[in-house]
A and B are shown apart, each in its own frame.
Chain A
Amino acid sequence: MSIPLSGTVKRSAGVYSALSKQLRGVNLKPVKKISISFDPFGNKTGPTRSLMYYLTGPKIANTNPNCRVKAQVLCDRSEPSVTFNLNSGENIIFKTSNLTVLELLQLFNKYISSQAPVEEPVVELKTKSEKKRR
């Protein structure tokens, strides 16, 4: 009888590896508008700002060019938050003061990216002559 597996097979590759893994799955298709509000002098605004950085990156922004990202700088020491207005009419608010970037991306993928329609692979139609060329 073999010993059942308990624990991980290999060591964790680190936070950045986990971040890149989450970023690969980010899809902005279900989102209409993202509004990010933070007070730069407040506590723990780093993850919120990093999330904004990642979501406005060219690769992720291209998943939905119609999605607008709006940054609101507050001056009242209020907690940072991110609001996602979805195409379905839903609003999802992330209160980000006690979350890390990785957790935020995991939540995004869990609640928002999962709603994106699955793309079917496009089959290219070829003529006989085109087929012969190859």
Chain B
Amino acid sequence: MTSILNKAWLLPTRQVIVQPKRFRGKINIQKPREPHYKRATVEKFVEPIYFNARWGKPLSELCANVKNKPSPDEVNKAKEPHPMHRIIAREARNWFENSNMVAFCHMNPFPGEEKFNFAVALKKHNMHFKVYGKPTIALALKDTPFLAVNRLFQSHNLTIFSPGTDIQSLLKLLQKRPELVLMAGIMNGKLMSRNELVNYAAMGDITAVRSRLVQVLQNAGGANLNRQITHHQSTLVSRLKQISTPEETTSESPEENVE
């Protein structure tokens, strides 16, 4: 019984559906009626007047396409190299100053994978390749004896640096790479053209050439010629050695001498 009563009393109230509706239909937005005279006067009076910046100016000033000449400060700022660019240039200069052999090559399209293999082959001979642009090299080699090299940095290029001077193995490696065209090089601070580099490589190792010279001298002037030529130098060296090593000449220790 109680449950029935509860149901009867606690029935939920029905939701009233409210539909808002404007009194007297739609408002006229498209073509509103003119305001009352007094309202129109006030509206006209309070209408803001904006300042026109272009009013009364000549046509030359109004043109948007006029390019103003940059100030000297702006020009100088634009000319200054980017700090990152300067760091790369410093690295390039470092490579030039600390390498005994530098080879400049023209580079035709060279796939990255092949380039990596070439880098590995170079690394085995203690050589490294770098690719620098023209402005970087111009910045790096400013006020250095390598200034003549600037001309080689046109189009696409690749530079090989090495602390050694193993030109023969470099030429062998370059022969296998038709993408690279050797143009010039620096050997022990001396700039050489391609032909000179090839001739230099054909000469072989300098110690071998020296031994060959000694052999020629031996053959020409008898067995004793070499010794006679270097007699004075060798005696000087032996004397200097005697002076520089006093321990060997004196058998007694300095303490004993004092006593």
Contacts and interface: CB of A to CB of B under 8 A. Distances in A.
B181 A73 contact: yes
B194 A49 contact: no
A16 interface: no
Nearest to A48: B155
Contact of A49 (B156, B195, B196): B156
B195 A56 contact: no
A100 B193 CA distance: 25
A40 B109 contact: no
B155 A40 contact: no
Contacts of A45: 154
B111 to A, nearest CB: 8
Contacts of B106: 40, 49, 52, 71
B109 A58 contact: yes
Interface string B93-135: 0000000000010111100000000000000000000000000
B109 A41 contact: no
Given A40-B151, A41-B151, A45-B154, A53 B108 contact: yes
Interface string B137-181: 000000000001001101110000000000000000000000101
Contacts, number: 44
A46 interface: yes
Contacts of A14: none
A132 to B, nearest CB: 42
Classify chain B's interface size.
20 to 34
A75 B194 CA distance: 7
Interface in A36-67: 40-41, 45-46, 49-50, 52-53, 56-58
A71 B177 CA distance: 12
Size class of the A contact interface (CB-based, 8 Å): 10 to 19
A46 B156 CA distance: 9
A56 B184 contact: no
B182 interface: yes
B179 A40 contact: no
A40 B109 CA distance: 18
Given A41-B193, A71-B106, A75-B195, A46 B181 contact: no
Contacts of A73: 181-183, 194
A39 to B, nearest CB: 9
B234 to A, nearest CB: 42
B108 A56 contact: yes
A46 B109 contact: no
Most buried by A among B108, B184, B194, B196: B108
B194 to A, nearest CB: 5
Contacts of A58: 109
A57 B111 CA distance: 10
A14 B156 CA distance: 21
A75 B156 contact: no
Which 5 pairs show the lowest CB-CB distances between chains A and B?
A: A49-B155, A46-B154, A40-B183, A75-B193, A56-B108
Interface of A: 40-41, 45-46, 49-50, 52-53, 56-58, 71, 73, 75
Given A40-B104, A71-B106, 7 more contacts: A40-B152, A40-B194, A49-B154, A53-B109, A71-B181, A73-B181, A75-B195
8 contacts: A40-B184, A49-B154, A53-B107, A53-B155, A53-B156, A56-B109, A57-B109, A73-B182
